[in-house]
Amino acid sequence: MNALTSMWQAVPAASQDDLAGARRRLLEGMHAPRPVLATSRRRVVTAPRLLIAAGVAAAAVTAPLVAGGGTPAYAVTENPDGTITVALNEMRDPEGLRADLAAAGVTADVSFLAPHTRCADSRFEGVDPSYGSRGHSEARLRKGVERWRSFEAAQVVDVREIRIRPEFIRPGETLVLEFRDNQDARRPWRLGAWLARTGSPVKPCAPVPDAG
Amino acid sequence: MTTTREVVAADDATLIGRSLHEPEVFAVLFDRHAPLLHRYVTRRLGPGEAEDVVADTFLAAFQSRDGYDLGRPDARPWLYGIASNMIGKRRRAEAGLYRAYLRSGVHPGEIPGAQVEDGVNTLAVNRPLARALLRLKRADRDVLLLVAWAGLSYQEVAEALAIPQGTVASRLNRARNQIRRDLPEGERQ
């Protein structure tokens, strides 16, 4: 097989110039919305999510988004594996979404926020330090992303979809979801998701300006 | 992103794990493996397709990185496996390259003049090889060239193509026998 091994061995390894276009495409692709793949869904823990963890607190305000003709504002689907998928196409009717989640067995509090706003802090007591974590170091947040139940309970899995995993929500806890209009069709909203401790009522969201 | 010494020294699995939270770290994996992956793809498809295949391979890898087995420190089998799929979608380009070589005796990705000294001998061997490669089944060719050109071990080829090691061995055996039959007498090593 020596002959085969040396066949066309004068083809050189690529230089940085040869690879510049491919490298650029990779970097651009990292930040583009992921094409919908039927086969697998990825847990998305991206920088914006960390920012949200850093303390975008909650608010119950309807923030209008462009509605696709005939597309429902949201859809709640119970999956065979026990998880729940929420497709959020349009940020309206938070109460309807809350009721549908309740019907699926998840006690939730849903807020839709206008761009550049967040809910005022201290709406509830969280089950882990993810809520009210604005002062956390990035390193602590990263560790938390791996450990805190709030991050396990609800994850962004696609541009317009989140997956809720009820196995991480204990009886009496409330899943608090704060969606903020992102004014970007490729990433229409940002999600802040936390678990409120059993016995801790969740106050209504009072929107306050937020630079993020 | 600042590429720290620590990142550069980390094994592939560590980089992939970190890239789940710091996506830009994945670019270090690109810088590490893209030059030789590009060479491998160029040998198989020619320079015209290589950039696209390399970009598609790393994008697909990036998007599926949360499924990577972090117990495997070397990501080459994973990357070359993805690239093999991409190459498989360009079979016509691959066959076209071999046919063009049979006609012209020139691989468009080679550095011109690199083999002037023994060019005649090289051509005498490479032409039958190109003809033989053209005749192989795609699955056999993938295994053969991952070993011969990418330098993967049997175990790594098995990981790359998600097939048992026994299948790697039987495909390789079949491909080698077929190649030997097509080579000139003196080259059948």
pTM listed for this prediction: 0.55
Q: Do B42 and A14 touch (CB under 8 A)?
A: yes
Q: Is the dihedral of CA B165, B150, B71, A153 positive or negative?
A: negative
pLDDT at residue number B72: 92
pLDDT at residue number B3: 47
pLDDT beyond 50 at A63:
no
Average pLDDT over residues B75-88: 96
pLDDT at residue number A21: 92
Torsion angles phi and psi, residue A113, rounded to 5: -115, 145
B54, B134, B152, B172, best to mutate vs chain A, most A CBs in 10 Å: B54
Q: For a pLDDT cut of 70, what percent of chain A falls above it?
A: 73
Q: How far is CA A40 from the centre of its chain?
A: 17
pLDDT at residue number A53: 36
pLDDT beyond 70 at A70:
no
Beta-carbon contacts of B26 under 8 Å, excluding residues fewer than 6 positions away, are A26, A30, B15, B16, B19, B58, B61, B62, B65
Q: With beta carbons under 8 A apart, name residues in chain B contacting A27.
A: 24, 27
pLDDT at residue number B41: 97
Integer angstrom CA distances of residue B100 from B43, B87, B108, B131: 13, 18, 9, 11
Q: Is the dihedral of CA A136, A137, A142, A144 positive or negative?
A: negative
Question: Residues A108, A174: contact at Cβ < 8 Å?
Answer: yes
What token pair was written down for A87? Answer: 């497709």
pLDDT at residue number A25: 93
Which stretch of A43-52, B44-53, B79-88, B102-111 has the lowest confidence by average pLDDT? A43-52
Q: Using CB atoms, which residue from B35, B64, B179 is nearest to A13? A: B35
pLDDT at residue number B7: 58
∠ CA A71-A119-A93, rounded to 5°: 25
Residue B79 CB neighbour total at 10 angstroms: 26
- Closest-approach residue (CA) in chain B for A43: B66
Question: Residues B79, B57: contact at Cβ < 8 Å?
Answer: yes
pLDDT at residue number A145: 58
Question: Residues A15, B38: contact at Cβ < 8 Å?
Answer: no
Average pLDDT of chain A to the nearest whole number:
76
A1, A2, A11, best to mutate vs chain B, most B CBs in 10 Å: A11
- Reading phi first (left if > 0) and then psi (alpha if -120 to 50, else beta), residue A133 is in alpha
Enclosing H/E stretch for A151: helix A149-153
Q: Do B183 and A3 touch (CB under 8 A)?
A: yes
B39, B111, B136, best to mutate vs chain A, most A CBs in 10 Å: B39
Beta-carbon contacts of A142 under 8 Å, excluding residues fewer than 6 positions away, are A50, B21
User: Which residues partner with A87 through β-bridges?
Assistant: A75, A161
pLDDT at residue number A22: 94
Q: pLDDT digit string (tens) for B113-157?
A: 544 445 556 777 888 899 999 999 999 999 999 999 999 999 999
pLDDT at residue number A30: 86
**ipTM for the whole complex:** 0.87
pLDDT beyond 50 at B172:
yes
Q: Do A45 and B20 touch (CB under 8 A)?
A: yes
Q: For a pLDDT cut of 90, what percent of chain B falls above it?
A: 63
Q: With beta carbons under 8 A apart, name residues in chain B contacting A15.
A: 35
pLDDT at residue number A146: 58
- How would you classify the pairing of strands A174-181 and A108-113? parallel
pLDDT beyond 70 at A143:
no
Q: How far is B155 from B184, CA to CA, in rounded Å? A: 31
